[in-house]
Amino acid sequence: MSAVSGPRKVGPGVMRTPAIELGQGEIHVWEIDPTAVGAPEQLARYAAWMTEDEAARQQRFLFERHRHAFLVARGLVRGTLTRYAPSVAPGEWRFVVGEHGRPDIDPAHGLGDLRFNLSHTDGRAVIALARGEIGVDVEARDRRGDLRGIAHHFFAAPEVEALAHLDGPELAARFFDTWTLKEAYMKARGIGISLGLGRFWFVFGEDGSIAVRFAPELGDEPASWSFRRFDLGPAHPVALALRWPSGSPVQVRLFAGAPGEPCAGSRLISGNRQVVSA
């Protein structure tokens, strides 16, 4: 990875640094707590980056906190992408939308196989970048509801069975492990819930390993995918899905730094049970 020091400011509200390098088999994750972003100059910067369509989408949210979260999430996407292609200012990014609604970088930018995926929930927004199909999901662990009931409705039979003898924190941990991984895989495929939640399931090894199984009609191969998960503090589990041979090494690096500001550092995420201070 290239150095991320030595920033210089080019234009209003844009902090330029040398491009961050992203190799095959690497996942870079950037995260932000939208509730911690409130400086007027930051919010004005992110608003200036948005297109007219994005600004209109923001205004359609009924509550101010949702409008704020949308603004910060768009800033995260645009500001983060510029870290990898500094020749494109945050406000210049253009996207194409797939058949099922997944946004991707407009091929006109000429960035090859660089892909990204965004996820956000109460108190956290996360973007993951990789060379190839990538999906990320973050959830708020304090969500209310009947976890067993949700699992019966959305999980595959082997996943429901795995929850049968769990209670309390162990039940919640396995539920969110499963939920976030299923979301990450569907988002990596760019198809969403129409993929069929019951047609694939996850198996967790005692060593922390994660394996996926597919029903024949899904037409996918477990050996083609790698999965990782970690926690951003005690409240936000994160899962990643990358189309990359399951037996090959995957390097996950978590970055800190608000969009448009210099990178504040990074750390490697190892294993599948790491808790990272948020």
Residue 1 falls within a domain, yes or no?
A: no
Contact status, residue 83 vs residue 19, Cβ threshold 8 Å? yes
Domain for residue 276, yes or no? no
Show pLDDT as tens, one digit a residue, over the chain (278 residues). Answer: 333 334 444 444 555 678 999 999 999 999 999 999 999 999 999 999 999 999 999 999 999 999 999 999 999 999 999 999 999 999 999 999 988 888 999 999 999 999 999 999 999 999 999 999 999 999 999 877 899 999 999 999 999 999 999 999 999 999 999 999 999 999 999 887 777 888 999 999 988 889 999 999 888 999 999 999 999 999 999 999 999 998 899 999 999 999 999 998 999 998 776 667 55
Rounded to 5 degrees, φ, ψ at 113 are -95, 15
Domain that holds residue 223: 8-271
Inside any domain, residue 133:
yes
Domain CATH code at residue 197: 3.90.470.20
Q: Reduced to 3 states, what is the DSSP secondary structure of residue 213?
A: strand
Surface-to-core class of residue 233, CB atoms within 10 Å of its CB (0-12 exposed, 13-18 middle, 19+ buried): middle
Domain membership flag for residue 179: yes
The domain tally of the chain equals: 1
Domain membership of residue 95 (yes or no) is yes
Q: Is residue 54 part of a domain?
A: yes
Question: For the whole model, what pTM was predicted?
Answer: 0.91
Kindly state whether residue 2 falls inside one of the protein's structural domains: no
Q: How many C-beta neighbours within 10 Å does residue 202 have? A: 22
> Is 229 inside any structural domain?
yes
C-beta neighbour count of 138 within 10 angstroms: 25
